[in-house]
Structure 1
Amino acid sequence: MTETPATATTAPAVPWPQPASSLYPALADAITGTVTLPGDSGYDTQRQVWNGMVDVQPAARGAGGGGAPPPPPPPPVPPVLAFAHRTGQPLAVRGGGHNVAGNGTVDGGIVLDVGGLRSVEVDRIAQTVTAGGGATLGDIDLATAPFGLAVPLGVVSGTGVGGLALGGGVGWLTRSHGLSVDNILGADVVLADGTAVHASAEEEPELFWGLRGGGGNFGVVTSLTFQAWPLPAEVYSGNLIYKADRFENALHAFSAWSADVPDELTTIISFLVPPPEWEQGEDPIMAVGFAWAGEDEEAAAAVVDRLRDLAAPDAELVQPVPWLDWQSAVDDLFPHGSRAYWKNTSFNSLDAGLIDVLARRAREQSWRGTGFDLHHMGGAFGRVPEDATSFPVRDARYWLNIYGFWNDAADDAHHTAFVRGLSRDAEPFAGGGQYVNFMGAEDPAQAAPGVYSGEKLARLSALKSAVDPENLFRRNHNIAAST
């Protein structure tokens, strides 16, 4: 770590100790923003996160920021951090609130809500985008699309960009332009002691390295600057759909076909019982979704034709689609309040044994509310050197995300068991990669050793010791300070 700049800001003191009844008024006096307590108007709404299975009661929520114009007030980050430090209360940092593990809230603790920091600035000449730490994917896409630009992000527009980008950021531009972390140029960060720093390749380079894949372990990110890339107004994209009796054949064909597809094409295979509005019936399907990040539609069509030749789909919808429409195409499948339980792993190959497991388990789904995606990696993602960022692994060829998105609590046991069962069956074929943004809340304190390699984990632990030795930022898939 470099020395703290002379211009850094520090947290104003919050007098302590104080009677319990006066704690939160003192916090309210110290911050620019609002404090919401149990019993206050709006508390029950504000405490909710995207995952409906996470139902906790924070002791207080501190929030600040807002859209622009007018310019938002400064976020209440330093005084809230000082308050949490002095009182010892657990702290959660919330942006979009979309994290499946529910790390954006904490039972009986303080929620620092930066979700109001949603401003987005686009420099169309430099092709860069600076977004507030509470901006969503949809905010960025809306701002960049008019300029024919896009930032590599995820696939659900309501996701907060802060949590997504710090963990990795897998989406429809992964093979063409890499992960979100590969496109971060800089970040404004408030550290555990209230110090505000800018992290980039030139300033605080070790912090910059750790932020790009280490999740929310090192500070509160109030803004991120990304590299953006030219993208056609309409993206050649679509889905090739296969029925259940074709799953093995289609997967073997996909394995052969995906070995040499151009980087411009990113594919995500989804197995699920489709919602009624898809008009695909009530049996499980395999949908090979794809997006081409280039101008040459004829070249794209020729690549997709090669898969059709190997395994003709039972149905398809393929056409140029406006980028904003494609990016939000599955939003309705994952509405706010969905009961969500996820597991994930990576694979270095798609061999016969794994294909048998995926096809068999996919056919077992006779219900709506669970599914799983197989992301085709490689391309630009795989060319990033292993030690360039703290993202766990770069040699993965495929990444499996098994997810639940049901509504009825009565389905919890059954649907959770399906996710766990498929994860267990796929484990013998796994390459060892774990992606923190696809991880649930199970045993987060022990997650880091199972996510990062020995050398990478040691480096992350050393960084944690330097910037957060008391582990203030522990409501995450936690990285322990080195001893």
Structure 2
Amino acid sequence: MLALSYMLALLLTLGAASPLEKRSQALDDCLSAAGLSPISSSSSDYSSTVLPFNLRLQRFPAAVVFPKSIEAVSSAVKCGNELGIAVVARGGGHSYASYGLGATNGALMIDLSSLHSIVVDSDGQAHVGGGARLGDTALALNAKGRAMSHGVCPWVGIGGHAAFGGYGPSSRKWGLTLDNIVAYDVVLADGTIKQGLTASEDADLFWALRGSAPSFGIVTTYHFRTYQRPSTVIVSTYSYPAGALSSTTAAQVFLAFQTFGKTKAPSALGLKINIFKGKSVLAGASFQGSRAEYDQVIAPLLSSLPGGYTSSVKTLDWIGSLKEVAGGQPLSSQGASDYHDTFFAKSLMVPSATPLTQAALEAFFNYLWTTATSSNWFVEFDIYGGLGSNINARSLVYSSFAHRAMLLGGQMYASSPNYGLPYPSDNLNFVQGMYAALTNPMLGAWAGTQGAYANYVDPTLTKDEAKALYWGSQYPRLASLKKRYDPTNVFRGGLAIVGA
């Protein structure tokens, strides 16, 4: 009689529950049955678990799990698939649009932070867990005398970074982070496990993963080609103080940087230019080689720059150079905690065939120098192409990464006045305005050949804009493969490819 009363009560409760509540409960039950201990909105640590890097964009997953093996990831994916719930992975959690929490509320979030092992073989191949961070990866490689190309922020996760590109100071010499992937351990949309997946095993899937991985699977381990660690790296900056440059002269500095990067910078030289609130401009370089070699290489750029800058040139070992370009941050995440920001950003990739013009740059700097904003903003552009760039040396057949003919890649980024909430709407408008000031004079010449970098994702883009700017001519093949490998659209929303 007691059992019957309990069953009747349970049925009445489920009958009163909404479809969303029923599905969430079914998801919790499925994950619990798989031994995954889900965290849901009723859990005491839910709020801290789903806190985004970009506080401007908060989303609320239906459940969060922390699998410790590829088999556990597979079990979680199967639960989401069977229940029709969108599945997303969070690596380092630094998505500009908070897509590691899902594109909308109610996703199943698979946090990969427990899968952070880094193993370097005697032949130099590195096996890096999908939850590892860039700084920890660099330290582990360095301990074995190895190195690879990646970005400069130590806290960024390898997962998203390698999924969509992975640019850093050594990329012009060694290629993007994704260019050095030789195999994947990956869980597909139906829960199938592929370990050590290579291009020879499945050329289509490997091509799609190398540039669009989150649309096709959850990568639990990346297998990388690495390089002999450089013995000496020169890191330099050339800084113009606040207010020293008019908009016209600032445009000339940028043009000198751009021209040198296209025509004279060797692949061993990484180059960037930063523009900061307060009208200051900084050009930076990272060079694999001796000081004497560097002085010879950089001379043409310095001779073309207007006077008035101060310089800093340091001779460092490899790991010291990574700390320097990271702004002095510790590379290890051990015993430290990540930071958060509240911001909006847009990215731009400039074609090698049609570099930025003096007129476009003057319009850009005039906007930056004269437009009032409460935001804390910066602009950064890096040289992608130019002489001997190993980024542009690869064809579109090599990977689904779409940008193999670009000269510059950059971002325009504005944080709130206190780096926390709220985010004033005029700050967003300021970024949109600076982007328009630079790109509008170029649109006719570019004729749609410009691009954007998916790791600086902009959630304000329309679907058609995102297709064109992030994927370009690669999208039709990606859409066809999406239909084959994820026919029920398990990995969906945000930057996910839509099957066709």
| The two structures share one fold, judged by TM-score above 0.5 | yes
Structure 2 unaligned regions, length at least 5: 1-19, 331-336
C-alpha distance in 2, partners of 1:51/1:18? 28
Partner residue, 1:471: 489
Is residue 470 of structure 2 the alignment partner of residue 451 of structure 1?
yes
241-250 or 419-428, which moves further after superposition?
241-250
Task: Measure, in 2, the Cα distance between the counterparts of 1:360 and 1:220.
Answer: 44
Q: Give, in whole Å, the separation in 1 of the partners of 2:396 and 2:145.
A: 31
Is the counterpart of residue 344 in structure 1 residue 350 in structure 2? Answer: no
Corresponding letter in the other structure for 1:329: G
Q: Could you report, residue by residue, the CA deviation over 1:298-355 in whole angstroms, capped at 9, with x for unpaired residues?
A: 11122223322222452222202313413532769x9622012111122131321232
Match of 2:439 among 427, 434, 446: 427
User: Hey, what's the Cα distance between the residues in 2 that align with 1:361 and 1:240?
Assistant: 23
Residue 209 of structure 1, aligned match among 199, 207, 231: 207
The answer to whether the Cα contact below 8 Å between 2:148 and 2:226 also exists between their aligned partners in 1 is yes
Q: Structure 2: how far apart are the matches of 1:450 and 1:440?
A: 10
Q: Secondary structure at the match of 2:233?
A: strand
Residues 416/171 of structure 1: CA separation in 2 closer, same or farther (3 Å cut)? same
RMSD: 2.5
- After superposition, give the CA deviation of every residue in 1:176-218 in whole Å (9 maximum; x if it has no partner): 1111111111111100000011422222221111111124110
Q: Is the 8 A contact 1:51 1:339 kept in 2?
A: yes
Match of 1:380 among 370, 387, 390: 390
SS class of match (2:128): strand
- Residue 266 of structure 2 corresponds to 262
Supply the distance in 2 between the matched residues of 1:228 and 1:358 (Cα, whole angstroms): 39
Question: Would the aligned equivalents of 2:55 and 2:421 in 1 still touch at CA under 8 Å?
Answer: no
Q: Distance in 1 between the 2:460 and 2:321 partners?
A: 35
C-alpha separation in 2, matches of 1:251 and 1:324: 25
- Distance, in Å, in 1 between the alignment partners of 2:301 and 2:86 is 51
2:63·2:107 contact (CA, 8 Å) conserved in 1?
yes
| Ranges in structure 1 where 5+ consecutive residues have no aligned partner | 1-16, 66-72, 274-282
**Is the counterpart of residue 172 in structure 1 residue 151 in structure 2?**
no
Opposite residue 472 of structure 2, the aligned amino acid is S
Which residue number corresponds to residue 115 of structure 1?
113
1:8 matched residue in structure 2: none
Identity of aligned residues (%): 24
Spell out, residue by residue over 1:208-239, the C-alpha distance to the aligned partner (whole angstroms, 9 max, x if none): 11111124110010100111122335521121
Q: Is 2:147 the partner of 1:150? A: yes
Change (3 A) 1:361 1:149: farther
2:294 — aligned with what?
300
Q: Separation in 2 of the partners of 1:291 and 1:78?
A: 41
Taking a change above 3 Å as real, the CA distance of residues 364 and 235 of structure 1, as seen in their structure-2 partners, is farther
- Of 103-112 and 434-443, deviating more is 434-443
For the residues of structure 2 that align with 1:151 and 1:388, how far apart are their CA atoms? Answer: 19
Distance 1:364 1:165 in 2: 38
Deviations 1:38-58 (A, max 9, x none): 132321111112111122222
TM-score, reference length from structure 2: 0.83
Aligned-residue offset at 1:135:
0.7
Alignment match of 2:421 (pick from 384, 409, 412): 409
- Corresponding residue number in structure 1 for 2:363: 357
1:75 deviates by 5.4
Q: 1:461 aligns with which of 458, 465, 479?
A: 479
Q: Secondary structure at the match of 1:299?
A: helix
Pick one of 87, 94, 97 that aligns with 1:98.
Answer: 94
1:202–1:463 Cα change, 3 Å:
same
Compute the displacement of 1:297 (Å).
2.5
From 63, 67, 80, the equivalent of 1:64 is 67
- In 2, Cα distance between equivalents of 1:22 and 1:368: 42
User: 1:239-279 deviations in whole A, cap 9, x for unaligned?
Assistant: 11124414123123223322211110011111113xxxxxx
CA displacement at 1:435 relative to structure 2: 1.6
CA contact (8 A) 2:31 2:76 kept: no
Pairing 1:23–2:30 present = no
Say which SS state the counterpart of residue 100 (structure 2) adopts: coil
Count, aligned residues: 447
The correspondence for 1:160, drawn from 157, 160, 170, is 157
Cα distance in 2, alignment partners of residues 444 and 140 from structure 1: 35
Per the TM alignment, residue 371 of structure 1 is displaced from its structure 2 partner at its CA by: 1.1
CA change 1:450–1:267 in 2 (3 A) is closer
Deviation of the 1:163 alpha carbon: 0.6
Q: Is the 8 A contact 2:155 2:338 kept in 1?
A: no
Note the C-alpha offset of 1:380: 1.1
CA distance 1:25–1:218, change in 2 (3 Å): closer
In structure 2, give the amino acid aligned to 1:49: P
1:14 matched residue in structure 2: none
Per the alignment, in what secondary structure is the counterpart of residue 362 of structure 2? helix
- Tell me the secondary structure at the aligned position of residue 185 of structure 1: strand
Name the residue aligned to 1:370: 377
CA–CA distance in structure 2, aligned partners of residues 171 and 369 of structure 1: 23
Looking at structure 1, the residues matched to 126 and 260 of structure 2 have their Cα atoms a distance apart, in angstroms, of 35
Q: Is the 8 A contact 1:190 1:196 kept in 2?
A: yes
Instruction: For 2:434 and 2:61, locate their aligned partners in 1 and report how far apart those are by CA, in whole Å.
Output: 33
Paired position in structure 2 for 1:310: 304
The answer to whether 1:480 aligns with 2:498 is yes
Tell me the TM-score normalised to structure 1 length: 0.86
The CA distance in 1 between the partners of 2:123 and 2:370, in whole Å, is 50
Q: 1:192 aligned to 2:195?
A: no
* Partner residue, 1:79: 75
Q: In the alignment, which residue of structure 2 is the partner of 1:68?
A: none
For the pair 1:232 / 2:244, whether they are aligned, the reply is no
Q: Displacement, 1:398? A: 1.0
Alignment partner of 2:56: what SS? coil
Q: Residues 346 and 162 from structure 1, CA distance in 2 versus in 1: closer, same or farther, beyond 3 angstroms?
A: same
Select which of 254, 275, 288 maps to 2:283: 288
Measure, in 1, the Cα distance between the counterparts of 2:171 and 2:78: 38
Change (3 A) 1:18 1:288: closer
Structure 1 residues 443, 356: closer, same or farther in 2, change over 3 A? closer
**In the superposition, relative to structure 1, how do residues 308 and 338 fare at CA in structure 2: closer, same or farther (>3 Å)?**
same
Where in structure 2 are the equivalents of 1:46-65 lying within 5 Å?
A: 46-65=49-68
